[in-house]
Structure 1
Amino acid sequence: MAEETAIFAGGCFWCMVKPFDTLPGVKAVRSGYTGGWKDHPTYAEVASHQTGHTEAVKITFDPTLISYQELVELYWQTADPTDAMGQFQDRGDSYRPVIFVNSAQQRAVAEASKAALQASGRFGDRPIVTKIEPAGPFWEAEEEHQDFYKKNPLRDAIEEAPRKAFLQAHWQDNK
């Protein structure tokens, strides 16, 4: 069976795992860092905003069961695509929204989806500022950051609250 990967950044990686984790066809969702210049960065180094990395999730999936297009469409419903320098309570370049593409085909899907979202008017006159960038090395985060929502359900609920309110306001009607 052929597997593919998708890499999405949309704020704290703790909040980005859960929406994808139990989808049929998704084999794994790993939290990590990408887009920076330091090999094997640590959470503390990335949080210091000195490595250029963005917190992201790497999704391994079976494209015969779920398409990259479906993952991109779900991605839009997990983050604020109008906020270029952070997400909700998480601020700074390490929390910026980015779709990291692994191929020309992924880029075409992501660009078309972004254009369709902008044209939909879902966010009024606010532009969709999520970047679409080539994927580079992905460094897995430390084990305590993997499956965070399962290990820390109370803290996950607190971290997720501002995100959840925003997403419900913009997606609950399935425009």
Structure 2
Amino acid sequence: MSRPLLAVLAAATLVAAPAAAQEGDDTARAVFAGGCFWCVEADFDKVPGVLETTSGYVGGSLENPTYRQVTAGGTGHAEAVEIVYDPGRVGYEELLHVFWRTIDPLTAGAQFCDVGDSYRSAIFPLNPEQEALAEASLEEVAARFEAPIATGIEEPTTFWPAEDYHQDYYEKNPVAYRFYRWNCGRDARVEALWGEEAGGLGIFEGRS
């Protein structure tokens, strides 16, 4: 069963109003695109120090885009996740470490079984410090692979939360989610690329 069909079966589309978590003294934000935002959200929810995750769309110019518009292509958006975290417990550099080891950085315009620009992998730094750390991490990843790195560092645009039925999808629909993730080959590919570095994160389905 394809992911778009699973999404249609999950619920009717409800468009959420644009909103972004505010950075304060005790929290910070990060935005990553790693293909299916159901999976990215599930992975980062398991990271100590991550307080909240929101699936959404970033990188395009269309206001208030819908899932159908984004996945159809042409809006410039990528499926992404906005992460609110406690920088006293987990740093941006550590989040980057997790991000790389949960994606396939060698494939352009796709992630695992999901093909199309909206499924591209990318880092969207929200300030100069994040940008510098992102660039340094990209150089480190590039040094370990012979193939070129397809994951880009992109300028963030407005982050638009996805429809309600996409939020916490892995918790609301655990059977459908686990089947999708297994059928898409996400964990198998990540483990092939990163080995024990990925497995040690404790994020794979059934390993946490």
Q: Please give the TM-score of this superposition, normalised by the length of structure 2.
A: 0.79
- The alpha-carbon deviation at position 171 of structure 1 amounts to 2.0
Q: 146, 161, 166: which is aligned to 1:145?
A: 166
- Residue 133 of structure 2 corresponds to 109
Computed over aligned residues only, the root mean square deviation of the Cα atoms, in angstroms, reads 1.3
Aligned length: 172
Q: Does 1:43 align with 2:67?
A: yes
Please list every run of 5 or more consecutive structure 2 residues that lacks an aligned counterpart in the other structure.
1-24, 199-208
- Residue 29 of structure 1 corresponds to 53
Q: Please give the TM-score of this superposition, normalised by the length of structure 1.
A: 0.94
- Residue 3 of structure 2 corresponds to none
Contact 2:57 2:161 in 1 (8 A): yes
Separation in 1, partners of 2:117, 2:71: 10
Runs of 4+ in 1 over 3 A off after TM superposition: none
The structure that is strand-richer by fraction is: 1
- Residue 173 of structure 1 corresponds to 196
- The alpha-carbon deviation at position 55 of structure 1 amounts to 0.4
Q: 126, 151, 159: which is aligned to 1:130?
A: 151
Separation in 2, partners of 1:51, 1:27: 29
Q: Any idea what SS the aligned residue of 1:8 has?
A: strand
Q: State which drifts further: 94-103 or 22-31.
A: 22-31
| 1:109-165 CA distance string (max 9 Å, x none) | 1111111111123xxx21112100122100000110001111111121122120110
Identity of matched residues, %: 45
Please list every run of 5 or more consecutive structure 1 residues that lacks an aligned counterpart in the other structure.
none
Counterpart of 1:173, as a letter, is: E
